[in-house]
Chains A and B, each alone.
Chain A
């Protein structure tokens, strides 16, 4: 019994001098994996038009009923999106969202993408509603046909799990 205890003490003593593996979170952030599903973003086309056409398929696909889409008619002279309609209101309740990614799958124009932002805390329930102007990417950040993250999703199997810091 004594031998085992001394062996155990030796093991713990050895670990006393090893470098801690802790990641000091607010200062150091671990990179997430490429297919990580974080906060949603509403993407744009390369010419700056919104991809979202207000079809509400994401709201229909959402198992948590977290998405509200109110479509509106496009002004023909200054269209928000290609086609007839655009999302006049687009809200996601982050308290309901379970980050399943079904909205991404449902979206016919690849407009909604779950990106890598995961720091989603807030102090009151009202702040949990993310509105369209919070979700929409800046006007100059358009993409080609398929946003790079969704292009990643087509790739199977997933990238290696080990993330080096």
Chain B
């Protein structure tokens, strides 16, 4: 039996790695099409389609990721003469492996197996059993997530250094500085959730959200987490690491072919993984109202296994839906907000987000002790958090005095009065 368990575990690892890689490929398509629509373009629509009667084409471009992959595979693989060869070759792996292993402790869905079959309130793993759709469950899962997400920056920093290129070097240095700055706010915002759930285990945190999601009592933490995680995965508007206009492309300037593809992959997998972590911590993970009722009904009619399977698949769907919504938000923000300046980035990280995160921890601690009723306490925390976000945003905007602002639309009186 133990041997069989190892085989199942290995197969699960393989499937998860392949699934995240495929998801990366299709996330690029998702992003390109959405960005195009935000800019009134149509996006990739040539590679592959499903023909419909009447000459109509369905899902035009759904093979675009495959075409991109083929293109990248066949590109010439160059190692710059002055690069530090071994470090140069190993850094893409440094970047992509942490991105892949982030997914291990995230409970993707709830498929209870083994044990006595009785699922505890809100939880998933029955006594003596486990959750089939969570690769690894251990009691410091959150610390693992934080550690692994920040290890990924080593790949970027090493790549910047090994390329022996000034722009790449600057990109790598920027990456380290940025990730260190936002790591604090990120960790502290997660700490609020940990205090709320009284556990470091991801499964426990999801189980604690069966009646209401932590976005309500931890609203402040959610906002901080969203901003800090965007900066942590060097995603627009915080993509100074690969600012094309300043750094030619940053740390991956000297990389081509599949080595570049690995960096690209790590970046996007990390982005989606961060969204998945946000869903796990704040948006109830795989919870959706009615899932338990549905699974109970199926169990009564078709037996234990069918009930578990239905719960597993529907909760996986709920989880993926939430991740997709957050990913849409990421693309939306990328389509809207321009890149911040470096001093603004540091200002936001150290002077705004860090104090806010500390305040959030203090607020959570005080409310948890003072108000035993979690609904009332959570409501108060939500109101205070909302007030803090609005207040800080109102007072912290880097503003110019009105006299220094150049208006795009001239006032009507000055139009047409030219020299």
| Interchain CB contact under 8 A, A1 and B333 | no
Residues of chain B with a CB closer than 8 A to A19's CB: 40
Instruction: Tell me which residues from 227 to 244 in chain B have a Cβ below 8 Å from any Cβ of chain A.
Output: none
Does any Cβ of B come within 8 Å of A16's Cβ? yes
Residues of chain A with a CB closer than 8 A to B39's CB: 15
| Interchain CB contact under 8 A, B41 and A5 | no
Chain A residues near B (Cβ < 8 Å): 1-2, 4-5, 8-9, 11-13, 15-16, 18-22, 24
| Interchain CB contact under 8 A, B37 and A20 | yes
**CA–CA, A12 and B39, complex, Å:** 8
| Interchain CB contact under 8 A, A12 and B335 | yes
For this complex, 11 residue pairs linking A to B, each with C-beta atoms less than 8 Å apart, are A1-B398, A2-B397, A11-B336, A12-B335, A12-B336, A15-B39, A19-B40, A20-B37, A20-B42, A21-B41, A22-B41
Main secondary structure of the interface of B (DSSP, over half): helix
Chain B residues near A (Cβ < 8 Å): 34, 36-42, 332-333, 335-337, 389-390, 393-394, 396-398
Interface hub of B335, B390, B394 (most chain A Cβ within 10 A): B335
Residues of chain A with a CB closer than 8 A to B36's CB: 20
Having A1-B396, A18-B40, one finds 6 other A-B pairs with CB under 8 Å, namely: A1-B397, A2-B394, A9-B336, A16-B37, A21-B40, A21-B41
Q: How far is the CB of A148 from chain B (nearest CB, A)?
A: 35
| Interchain CB contact under 8 A, A2 and B389 | yes
**CA–CA, A1 and B389, complex, Å:** 11
**CA–CA, A69 and B91, complex, Å:** 60
**CA–CA, A4 and B336, complex, Å:** 11
Residues of chain A with a CB closer than 8 A to B40's CB: 15, 18-22
Q: Knowing A11-B336, A13-B332 touch, does A1 contact B38 (C-beta < 8 A)?
A: no
Residues of chain B with a CB closer than 8 A to A21's CB: 40-41
Residues of chain A with a CB closer than 8 A to B337's CB: 5, 8
Residues of chain A with a CB closer than 8 A to B38's CB: 12, 15-16
Residues of chain A with a CB closer than 8 A to B332's CB: 9, 12-13
Q: How far is the CB of A26 from chain B (nearest CB, A)?
A: 10
Q: Knowing A1-B393, A20-B36 touch, does A8 contact B336 (C-beta < 8 A)?
A: yes
**CA–CA, A11 and B38, complex, Å:** 9
Chain B: which residue is nearest A1 at the CB level? B397
Q: How far is the CB of A72 from chain B (nearest CB, A)?
A: 48
Interface hub of A13, A16, A21 (most chain B Cβ within 10 A): A16
Residues of chain A with a CB closer than 8 A to B41's CB: 20-22
**CA–CA, A42 and B335, complex, Å:** 50
Interface hub of A12, A13, A18, A22 (most chain B Cβ within 10 A): A12
Residues of chain A with a CB closer than 8 A to B34's CB: 16
- Return the 5 tightest CB-CB contacts between A and B, nearest first: A1-B397, A2-B393, A12-B336, A20-B42, A8-B336
